[in-house]
Amino acid sequence: MKARKIVDEMDSYVPGRSQDEIAEEFNLKKDEIIKLGSNENPWGPSPKAVEAIKNELGSINRYPESQLKELVHEMALYSGVKDSQVIVGGDGADEIIDVLAKTFIDEGDEFIVPLPSYMYYEYLLQQYGASPVYARWDLDKNELDVDSIFDAITPKTKMIFLCSPNNPTGTLIEKEVLADIAAKNPEILIVIDEAYFEYSEVTNRDLIDEYDNVFIIRTLSKVLGLAGMRVGYGLACEEIIEYMHRIKPVFSLTRLSFVAALSTFRDRDYIAESIRKGIESRQYLYDEVSKIDSLYVFPSKSNFMLINVRDTGFTASELALELMKKGIIVRDCTSFKGLDEYWIRISICTLEDDEKFIEILKEVLN
């Protein structure tokens, strides 16, 4: 049976490689592999979340909550917004993007993504018949080329995706820039991806009260340590949230994900410590990689950083392979549109593993 035309023409999304894959391929011990490729929290989940999951195991024969009122309230408190301005999604923030598309995208619409950025926006929206139009990040200045956003807008533009901090560059977009784009384009939905906002200690949440066309995406997969539980959420004006609830699957959040998320939001000490350790690790990695003459590393406001490797004699895929052989997983960014074959991305790890990575990186480069 032949698939839909758009599915037949699409390329699969390329995620970072797992420890299991690397262990099997290179005959390594899984627990000795250092994973710097997927932007996760390396210190594990909140102990309170783990305990809540254990206590809920006996109830997994029952359907999960549908309204998620307790969790919505905790997310609203954490974000400084009203409960009615929050929507919760399973499958991390990816379901939120999918529901946005189902709610607002018609076939033939266009959406803008500055390159390089998180490519899952494109992967999801194309499934609904929308076409990407590319703006750009200025890699020389390490900032969004704002004029390229305005130049890309057409009468068909329905959404503009702006990741801040941006993945993979780690760059923040100034709030004044985001507000200007929203103010000048009231009929276009400005989607601000704040997956990594805790590491930057900057948020744009107040824009949802000023502009009815601003939507903020967030996730529990980074600072909050629940990548494996797949929980995301969105913040917007009440009208947008209400429309999305008409489309959103009723039971997309499992019982275990619900209690894990609830317990994590209530564990503010854990969140604060995750942020502190993440920023400490980021600074250590930036300082140490900056000392290696053949590498150029971008300063970052996230839990990862982008590195130009073209002066090493390796392509990104070649360097990633040599590191994998020694039990180090980094992200080969060759699949990111807007980047050539000379960029890798590394994410934070424990300081002990950071030190091992730097030692092995120097060994490979020499």
For 289-323, write each residue's pLDDT tens digit. 999 999 999 999 999 999 999 999 999 999 999 99
What percentage of the chain's residues is helix, strand, coil (to nearest 5)?
Answer: 45, 15, 35
Q: How far is CA 199 from CA 90, 164, 344, 348, 361, in A?
A: 22, 11, 20, 11, 25
Report which of 229, 228, 225 is spatially closest to residue 259, judged by C-alpha positions: 229
SS3 180: helix
**Percentage with pLDDT > 70 across the chain:** 96
Cβ proximity of 259 and 239 under 8 Å = no
Weakly modelled stretches of the chain, pLDDT under 70: 2, 4-6, 8-17
> Which pLDDT score is estimated for 242?
98
For 250-280, write each residue's pLDDT tens digit. 888 999 999 999 999 999 999 999 999 999 9
For 22-57, write each residue's pLDDT tens digit. 788 787 888 889 999 999 999 999 999 999 999 999
Query: What DSSP element (H or E) covers 26?
Result: helix 19-26
Which segments of the chain are extended strands (E)? Answer: 34-35, 86-90, 110-115, 131-138, 143-144, 157-163, 189-193, 214-219, 231-235, 296-297, 304-308, 328-329, 331-332, 343-347
Residues contacting 284, CB < 8 A, separation 6+: 351, 354
Ordered by where they begin, the domains of the chain are: 5-44+269-365 (3.90.1150.10), 47-267 (3.40.640.10)
Report which of 159, 151, 300, 274 is spatially closest to residue 221, judged by C-alpha positions: 274
- On whether the pTM is more than 0.85, the answer is yes
> Which pLDDT score is estimated for 210?
97
Mean of the per-residue pLDDT values for the chain?
A: 94
| The token pair that represents 222 in the structure block | 């980074």
DSSP-derived secondary structure for 304-328: EEEEE-GGGT--HHHHHHHHHHTTE
| Angstrom distance (rounded) from CA 174 to CA 67 | 35
Query: What DSSP element (H or E) covers 152?
Result: helix 146-152
| Angstrom distance (rounded) from CA 97 to CA 232 | 10
